[in-house]
Structure 1
Amino acid sequence: MTEPDLSGDPDVFTAPVARSSELSEDAIVKFRAERPERGWRGALYKSTGGLINPGLGAAERARRDRVRRIRRTLPGAHQIAVSSIKGGVGKTTVSACLGLMLAEHRGDRVIALDANPDAGTLADRLSGDTSVNVRDLLNNLGRADSLTDVARYTSLAGRLQVLASEQDPAMSEAFNREEYERVCAVLTRFYNIVITDSGTGLVHSAMEGTLALADSLVIVGAPTVDGASRASKTLDWLIAHGHATQAANCVVVLSCDRTSSDIDAGRVRGHFEARCRAVVEVPHDPHLATGGRIELSRLRPATHDAFLALAALLADGFGSRPPAAPLTPRQVPSLN
């Protein structure tokens, strides 16, 4: 026997169809003022047991917004290249801190790869373990069929996995474009974000592969005569060799370990702001200046916030490359 159809009977009540989306947090949780954690606002909130809540200050609100941006959904593997035509400006430090920051605030897999052809120090700064390296992985790529297989050749720094460079300079010179691309093909199968700490030689074969595969590019310089001019020449080289879009979309990091009152820092920043998507200034930090193992918890707040801003800027490009407005030479302030 079939059930009678009562949908048209006015005396029969039919309950509306419920949806799980109606039980979202925004819909059913009563308003709660955000709880401050930093500065005088955080101190007041804690000292009164939460009875007095002054709300978030502008700095803390900006910080939480950056964390939210960093945690945005990533539809596929994303490769970030950190480069500079000049050594000694903090490229490895930027790679390390960026990797730690992304791994700290995301729930997926992040790996930092040292592609420096001159016995790079990325693993030394992060995990201190160079017993296995990219050469070992290359020699066993045919057996790297799972995350567990690949992880045998990495070390761990917090939640960040690190793939060290070959420590024998004679051997590392053989790390060419074809080998770099083979390594990245494996890494992007098992990791959501791959950060490459590239060498300083832009004409090196592996660097060609780095630029070809990079979804995002970070150029590292310094607010000094040599550091700024070399970073600017890096952008010139990219434009001259068919990478104008990457140059316009890149983020320039100015490492302020070396500063001088004789340098017009505003002019340096303005020059790069006119040439790329964004500029981040990383202040001098005693913890980073030691050249030893890097720990996010030991960074000064201003340094931590600078790397948080860098990670958020790169996360803005997850899934697509941010558009860059075309520039004319007149828009770029000279460094001379």
Structure 2
Amino acid sequence: MDKTNRISGALVSSLLILASLLVSGAVAERLEISVDEAYSMLQKNPGAIILLDMRTEQMYQSEHIPGAINIPLSINTSSFERGIDELEKSKTVIVYCQAGGASKLAADLLVQHGFERVYTMAGGINAWKQKYPTTLTAPQPTEARPGAIKAEPFTLTSVDGTTFSLSDYSGKVVVLTLILTTCHLCQEEMEELKALKQAYPDLVIISVSIDPGETDDNLRNFKERYNADWLFARDTARVASTYQGYVLATPTIVIITPKGYLSFRKVELVPLEDLKSAVERAYREEGELIPGGASEEKPMIPGFEAVLAIVMVGVLVAVQRLAKRKR
């Protein structure tokens, strides 16, 4: 009997030790980092990190860290657990709450669901916004300089069936991209735009195919291929001729300020850092197409050079014909 009790005691002790190791191993996967460490990780490799805001949807909508996704955690954790099961488990997760306490429960649930690298952010968003920007601290628009050119209005229907107008996004910076799905540089620009959208979640991106033979199905497949989460539409409103003039080339990037002025235009592959710089200037109602900005000598209306050249040639021909008649 004593021998049996000793064996049973040893077995119970072993099970307790094993359970302790398992629990400690699970807890060890959830590490707390400072906001500085979180910021550094996001700057170095943003594509490999999921920044997760576990607060309520209302709190998220009122203010959050740029690039964060929202999966609210409530007393009933089933909705949160369903949400995190749709995330990529191979990625690192940084989860935050308002002050740093509640995110620990969310992190433990992430670990239980198979995420290997899970971090909580000490102090939550309260600590973050003492040093780094949130969606409430984005650059504030200022008055545009005299002579700035208003972006021409247009209305399109996206490949998802949503009808929208440029005026719907008044107060936001809009990045208009004119593309061809077969254009190699347009395909490269997609990755730059995805990173730009991650850096500025409130940014509006509109990609318009200028191919007259484009179909919604083909453009939708193009959007899905790059997992792009912004508007795609066929050019049914002569957007290309309005913003490019008579010379159509892709990719064309046009950036419009919150007050609706043209700020930036390039007909080339634009690197991410240049896009960020142009967006920052657009928030301030500045840019190379606004008087007083860089390259002020450039025409402010796309296609203006070509139109002016044609007009001048026409005037010259008319003068020559008039001179011949007088002879």
Question: If the TM-score is normalised by the length of the shorter chain, which range does it land in?
Answer: under 0.3
More strand, by proportion: 2
**TM-score, length of structure 1 as denominator length:** 0.24
Question: Max radius of gyration: which structure?
Answer: 2
Larger relative CO (CA 8 A, sep 6+): 1 or 2?
Answer: 1
